[in-house]
Amino acid sequence: MKILVLNSGSSSLKYQLVESETEEVLAKGIAERIGLPDGALKHESVVLDCKSRTIEADIPDHDAAMDLVFQVLTDPSDGAVSHPSEISAVGHRVVHGGEMFSAPTIITDETLAEIDKVSGLAPLHNPPNLMGIRACRRLMPGVPQVAVFDTAFHSTIPKHAYVYALPYELYTDYGVRRYGFHGTSHRYVSGRATKLMAARGADPAALRVITCHLGNGCSMTAVVGGKAADTSMGLTPAEGLVMGTRSGDIDPAILLFVQTEMGMTPGQVDDLINKESGLLGVSGKSSDMRDIEAEAAAADQRSALALEIFCYRVRKYIGAYAAAMGGLDAIVFTGGIGENSPTVRAKTTRGLEFIGVRLDPQRNQTARGESDISAADAPVRVLVIPTNEERMIARETAEVVTGGQGRDLQAAS
CA angle 395, 75, 8 (to 5 degrees): 45
The amino acid sitting at 136 is: C
Residues in contact with 208: Cβ distance below 8 Å, sequence separation at least 6, in sequence order: 222, 223, 224, 322, 325, 326, 327, 328, 329, 330
Mention every residue, 6+ apart, whose C-beta is less than 8 A from residue 400. 89, 104, 105, 106, 144, 146, 406
Residue 182 in contact with residue 233, Cβ under 8 Å? yes
The residue among 83, 71, 82, 89 whose CA lies nearest residue 29 is 71
Question: Which uninterrupted H or E stretch holds 93?
Answer: strand 87-94
CB atoms within 10 A of CB 56: 10
Alpha helix ranges (H) inside 74-182: 109-117, 126-139, 159-162, 168-174
Tell how strand 2-8 and strand 87-94 pair up.
Answer: parallel
Per DSSP, the three-state class of 372 is strand
Pair 226, 246: CB distance under 8 Å: no
8 Å CB contact between 151 and 101? yes
Which residues belong to the active site? 150
- 330-334 and 208-214 strand pairing: parallel
